Structure 1
């Protein structure tokens, strides 16, 4: 009989790590939203950043931070919790299994986090609107309350189907790719389970996330920032976005990559440290 001993994360570690990471990468997410919702002549990353700082001040780069944190504490907690629960209870050695579990976890997490996501997009995009049209939510909870009060509860889940699809794809690119990259590195026996391996695996995950999730991210952002009735549904959003050319689906790719890579690195460094110091021991006896 052999004994298998593992140090496993607690269900909320992924949400905590993601909330910490977003405090660093939020300005890049805000710039990405502005690029994705921009219509008209092409505008560069530096131009839109300069415009935000000039017109609204440097603190405007953190508009919507409360909603971003709220989103991670709902969306990321859910997807990590589902993935980690499966990892503790079933054989997750194959990449196919990792992908399937990540897709389920991300899809559920995307739906759970849709209200916070909608408010987050609106808070970030508010400064682009004329002053009379701005929603001026005070923070995430105020945004959720006012959406329910003025537009109805179902409005909170506008774009939730796209958000869920994106979250499923993103979670494959982030959690499954990270987990499997780490697994492959450790199999080489040239690497140990330390910060070097964590950084390398999370860097690969950040690149994978950017490539896989960007088109759905653009659609999700446009649906959530739209005025009521602007799009009849996701297909009309796809058609209208496609009229701008295929490049429109990859608007904001550079800031997305600049955000996704460090975001993944920060998430998994914190996540691994939490697991190492505050996780729990699982002991399994094998015949």
Structure 2
């Protein structure tokens, strides 16, 4: 008989970092589309423009910051969620959906705040290549970016956009973690499926769609806040009114590339997580 295994608290961070290595170019294109106020470039044209001007490896600009973000943000939120879930259900038994939502919300809030510095540097490094040379920040890598922001702009600036990042992380974690568990449970219970790759793929794809829809408005405002010049926006409301000038769809700017990026990101994260759980997880206590 195969033993039932539970994930270790740090598996989520490792899985998310692995997924980020695969999906980083899509994340970079999403940031570019969100920060253009007047532009009408499509995702494909944006990619061609970047490669033509900067070369193929420009699509991986800011990868170190993306990894830093995942190793802080995702390790925290997955860790809190898994530890809480295993405390409530040490044998891996079913947990009511509303309880999973509550756990995910708390985990997401903590992860969003912890991951803000990495997220800030990530957005800046990705956006750097579309600026003129004299305006570029030219961070060598993620840690260099964190140190320079801290030294040149102060600790407060390092956590710029923390309110929107935290709010987004709450919705993201609810959409990804709690809905993934819910979709997986429904597939196993009512669709007669096994705990295999197909189930993990369908559950994570559905969770990715939910997470994208929940988070896109805050994601647009967070990206603008983090990429803004000091003093450009006075408050979250100022960012909202500025974005609203584009109409209601302005809050969903870059939705398609966001889903194209978040869908594979979510799928790969949970596929990697499930493989880590099955091969290296903790054996569940007998019920």
Which secondary structure state, in structure 2, belongs to the residue aligned with residue 283 of structure 1? Answer: coil
Indicate the residue corresponding to 2:62 in structure 1.
64
Q: Deviations over 1:36-68 (max 9, x none)?
A: 000114221112111111111111000000000
In structure 1, C-alpha distance between the alignment counterparts of 2:285 and 2:14, rounded to whole Å: 25
Using the size of structure 2 for normalisation, the TM-score is: 0.95
Using the TM superposition, give the Cα deviation of residue 282 of structure 1 relative to its aligned residue in structure 2, in angstroms.
2.8
After superposition, the C-alpha distances for 1:17-38 in whole angstroms (9 at most, x for unaligned) are 0000000000000000000000
RMSD over aligned CA atoms reads 1.2
- Unaligned 5+ segments in structure 2 are none
5+ residue gaps, structure 1, are none
Misfit runs of 4+, over 6 Å: none
Q: Matched residue of 2:285: which SS? A: strand
After the TM superposition, which residues 68-217 of structure 1 pair with which residues of structure 2 at under 5 Å, given as runs?
A: 68-90=66-88, 93-188=95-190, 190-217=192-219
Distance change (3 Å), C-alpha of 1:6 and 1:87 = farther
Q: Distance in 2 between matches of 1:246 and 1:50?
A: 28
**Distance across 2 between alignment mates of 1:189 and 1:65:** 39
Is the partner of 1:197 in helix, strand or coil? helix
The aligned counterpart of 2:222 is 220
**Cα distance in 1, alignment partners of residues 269 and 9 from structure 2:** 15
2:17 is paired with a residue whose SS is helix
Residue 14 (structure 1) aligned with residue 12 (structure 2): yes
Report the secondary structure of 2:107's partner residue: helix
**Corresponding residue pairs, total:** 281
The corresponding residue for 1:32 is: 30
